[in-house]
Amino acid sequence: MPTYKLHYFDMHGAAEVSRQLFILSGTPFIDSRISKEQWPLFKETTPFGHLPVLEVDGRPLPQSQAIARYLAKEFGFYGKTPFESAWVDALADQIKDFLTEMRPYFDVFVAGSDKEKARVEIAMPAISKHFPFFEKAAKDNGSNGHFVGDSLTFVDVYIADRIVTIDGMLPGFADAYPSVLAIRDKVINDPRLKEWIATRGTRRVAGEVLVDLRK
């Protein structure tokens, strides 16, 4: 088995999907968290000047979605046929487009002043544009708790984590999309993630921690 090390800041952000793929697959990995102070120097060592970066036996791979897809393929969370895999990719890219449109709202929420204005002008339009498509995709797939096929894929993990995060800013924002919420529920209640979700809050340290939840 290769040695995996995942570098990111000490937050969910763009890396949590990949951390959860390690946990779900029972694969040990080094959970590296880069502090604000460490970042300027560490940045120079990254391929594209940003995080996350996955190291596979020391070889770096940047870009969160490329990382998540690579791990999903390795661990079997990428659909059962090429067409299913392509739909996983399509949904992941659509979620990314949604997040890109939400970005100005996130910026205001973290550091800006008029949160309500940003909620009305940026967040609500982005949510009501994209979530009906996500709901339709979930429904067309049989409302079975998965976006694609009949088993967990990385896009299920992706939407679940983003809903959890955004729900913290806009409680109940996705209530009108029950089939999508069912996907979130299935992920956050997955027994393999239970210990990680319960203890994750205490993992707020810079530096590297070997995460090995194999029993």
Residue 54: strand, helix, or coil: strand
Contact residues: another protein, CB under 8 A? 47-49, 56, 59, 61-63, 65-67, 69-70, 73-74, 82-83, 85-87, 89-90, 93-94, 100, 133, 136-137
CB of 1 to another protein, least distance (A): 14
- If the CB atoms of residues 59 and 204 are measured against another protein, the closer one turns out to be 59
Residue 208: strand, helix, or coil: strand
Q: Within the chain, what is the greatest distance between any pair of CA atoms?
A: 50
What is the dihedral sign for C-alpha 162, 81, 4, 54? negative
The neighbouring-strand residues paired with 8 are: 33
CB of 64 to another protein, least distance (A): 8
CB of 90 to another protein, least distance (A): 4
CB of 204 to another protein, least distance (A): 28
CB of 82 to another protein, least distance (A): 6
- If the CB atoms of residues 63 and 144 are measured against another protein, the closer one turns out to be 63
- If the CB atoms of residues 98 and 196 are measured against another protein, the closer one turns out to be 98
Closest alpha carbon to 92 in 135, 43, 31, 134: 134
- If the CB atoms of residues 56 and 170 are measured against another protein, the closer one turns out to be 56
Closest alpha carbon to 29 in 214, 215, 211: 211
- If the CB atoms of residues 74 and 167 are measured against another protein, the closer one turns out to be 74
How far apart, in whole angstroms, are the C-alpha atoms of residue 174 and residue 150? 22
